[in-house]
């Protein structure tokens, strides 16, 4: 079945309740879903950001039902997102979202989501902001939903690591990235590393191509806004860039990580733009602080010289190996 927006997979199989203030949906986790085979090759697991994708798709369905058949919803804000338990092939994901119109903006909805496995175990919680618009309308303008307590970034603001650089050998080419990260095609979302200072920051790139699986099932004759790279993959690509920084930081300190770095939570993420096929994402990730086997990172995502997202905080944690306890 064709989609009207780019997505890594069909993240909602069926919808139950869909009222003006509540949507509930279900996703069956299957091993042959797109992207899952590469996350991870030796232990297939539903990526945490795909739980975010499931919530996003549930709210898109809510928007079509309650805001008109041509309405869609763009994820523009992650106030908080945390993962509590993994989802494995054979599990059932239950998505429950309370939807409320923003008091100051009728086109913005605030969503509180609680996601559980079929056995009732909490899998994830999220507090999000999504902008409702008509299909074909422009995507939200930069700065439309600034991070709490901060001024919106000017559309043309550049950072030293985010501006295009001269064509020269990267710090880590793709072969080297594959030796650092456990992810594999098609969910290995770091192409190369342009800058890396252990303990400080990394600048990593990901080229967006129209041949990627997220564009495979799009309907014909869609507007350009339908080709926005999925927000869930933006977050995943940023997280993988941060994983490269942390793993190389530990290696430089002589204490290589024994286990797998997993995505624990995110806060204060503001998505103010989008990337389309033909553009290159540049992730600027900085280490905020480390707490035992956990690391807090923050940074920005750029595309075409424009800052399209700011990440206030991402928590990554080391697990002693891939197992049913790893989110």
* Helices marked H in 67-173: none
Least Cα distance to 147 among 242, 238, 230, 271 occurs for 271
Mean pLDDT value across residues 5-18 = 96
Q: Three-state DSSP class for 52? A: helix
Mean pLDDT value across residues 303-323 = 83
Cα(283)–Cα(208) distance, integer angstroms:
13
CB 15 within 8 A of CB 23: yes
Cα(232)–Cα(236) distance, integer angstroms:
6
Is a pLDDT exceeding 50 seen at residue 148? Answer: no
Is a pLDDT exceeding 50 seen at residue 162? Answer: no
- What is the model's pLDDT at position 294? 87
Q: What is the residue whose two structure tokens read 């739980």?
A: 51
- What is the model's pLDDT at position 72? 95
Q: pLDDT band for 211, please (50, 70, 90 cuts).
A: very high
Least Cα distance to 35 among 271, 247, 237 occurs for 237
Residue % of the chain over a pLDDT of 90: 72
pTM of the model: 0.89
Q: Which residues are catalytic, by number?
A: 39
163 phi and psi, to 5 degrees? -70, 150
- What is the model's pLDDT at position 259? 72
> According to the per-residue pLDDT averaged within each range, which of 36-45, 117-126, 143-152 is highest?
117-126
Range in 69-83, 145-159, 178-192, 247-261 the model is least confident about: 145-159
Long-range contacts of 169-178 (CB under 8 A, 24+ apart): 170/194, 171/195, 171/196, 172/196, 172/244, 177/244
Q: pLDDT band for 291, please (50, 70, 90 cuts).
A: confident
CB 92 within 8 A of CB 28: yes
Mean pLDDT value across residues 16-23 = 97
Structural domains of the chain in order of their starting residue, each with its CATH number: 14-319 (3.10.129.110)
Q: What is the CA radius of gyration of the chain?
A: 19
Cα(127)–Cα(82) distance, integer angstroms:
9
CA distances from residue 187 to 190, 299, 308 in whole angstroms, order as listed: 9, 21, 21
**Of 166 and 319, which is predicted with more confidence?**
319
Q: pLDDT band for 1, please (50, 70, 90 cuts).
A: low
Cα(156)–Cα(142) distance, integer angstroms:
10
Q: What is the pLDDT of residues 238-249, one digit of tens each?
A: 999 999 999 999
Q: Three-state DSSP class for 242? A: helix
Note if the bond before 186 is cis, omega within 30 degrees: yes
- What is the model's pLDDT at position 195? 97
Cα(135)–Cα(268) distance, integer angstroms:
27
CA distances from residue 29 to 15, 16, 73 in whole angstroms, order as listed: 15, 17, 24
Is a pLDDT exceeding 60 seen at residue 319? Answer: yes
Q: What is the pLDDT of residues 74-129, one digit of tens each?
A: 999 999 999 999 999 999 999 999 999 999 999 999 999 999 999 999 999 999 99
CB 145 within 8 A of CB 131: yes
| Structure token digits, residue 141 | 């303008």
């Amino acid at each position: 079945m064709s989609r009207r927006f780019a997505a890594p997979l069909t993240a909602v199989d069926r919808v139950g309740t869909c009222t003006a203030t509540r949507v509930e949906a279900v996703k069956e986790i299957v091993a042959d879903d797109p992207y899952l085979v590469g996350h991870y090759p030796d232990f297939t697991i539903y990526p945490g950001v795909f739980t975010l994708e499931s919530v996003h798709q549930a709210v898109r369905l809510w928007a079509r039902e309650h805001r008109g058949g041509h309405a869609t919803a763009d994820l523009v804000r992650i106030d908080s997102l945390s993962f509590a338990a993994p989802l494995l092939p054979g599990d059932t994901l239950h998505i429950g979202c309370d939807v409320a119109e923003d008091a100051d903006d009728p086109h913005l909805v605030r969503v509180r989501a609680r996601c559980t496995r079929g056995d009732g175990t909490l899998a994830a919680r999220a507090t999000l902001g999504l902008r409702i618009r008509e299909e074909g309308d422009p995507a939200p303008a930069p700065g439309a939903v600034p991070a709490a307590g901060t001024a919106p970034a000017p559309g043309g603001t550049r950072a030293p690591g985010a501006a295009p650089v001269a064509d020269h050998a990267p710090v880590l080419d793709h072969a080297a990235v594959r030796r650092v990260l456990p992810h594999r095609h098609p969910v290995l979302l770091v192409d190369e590393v342009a800058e890396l200072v252990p303990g400080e920051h990394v600048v990593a790139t990901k080229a967006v191509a129209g041949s990627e699986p997220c564009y495979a099932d799009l309907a014909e004759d869609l507007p350009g806004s339908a080709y926005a790279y999925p927000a869930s993959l933006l977050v995943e690509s940023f997280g993988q860039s941060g994983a490269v920084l942390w793993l190389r930081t530990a290696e430089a300190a002589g204490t290589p990580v024994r286990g797998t770095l997993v995505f624990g939570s995110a806060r204060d993420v503001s998505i103010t733009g989008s990337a389309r096929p033909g553009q290159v994402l540049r992730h600027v990730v900085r280490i905020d602080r480390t707490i035992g086997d956990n690391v807090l990172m923050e940074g920005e995502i750029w595309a075409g010289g424009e800052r399209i997202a700011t990440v206030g905080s991402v928590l990554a944690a080391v697990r002693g190996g891939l197992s049913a306890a790893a989110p």
